[in-house]
Amino acid sequence: MKKFLITGFSGFVSRYFMEYLENNEIRAFIKGIDVHHPDINSDAFKHVKYDFERIDLLDKGKVENIIFEFQPDYVLHLVSFSSVAFSWKEPNISFQNNTNIFLNLAMSNKTICP
């Protein structure tokens, strides 16, 4: 069984990814992390199991702990400030947030950044 860590788990892309795994009968265990609780019906999945943890990816210590404890085979990074309008209005905040959450994730996962 493959293990996937999915950031931005409450967004629509993670749901489509889970449906892809399920429809292709790929046995997977997913650790979803997000600042918002997901609205996913776990009864709809036979091949895919998941666990959710609410964390802020700007908290480097928590990110490191999750990766160390979960030991994912794959990371699907889906979280960011995605609003183009917001990025133009607040470019520094948008850039710092999106860059720092990626760095926290990448530097905590030795398979991405050895």
Cα-flanking dihedrals φ and ψ of residue 10, to 5°?
-80, -5
Q: What is the pLDDT of residues 48-97, one digit of tens each?
A: 999 999 999 999 999 999 999 999 999 999 988 888 999 899 999 999 88
pTM of the model: 0.86
Alpha-carbon gap, residue 42 to 48, rounded angstroms: 9
The answer to whether residues 34 and 9 touch, using CB atoms and an 8 Å cutoff, is yes
> Cβ of 42: how many Cβ atoms within 10 Å?
11
Q: Which domains are delineated in the chain?
A: 2-108 (3.40.50.720)
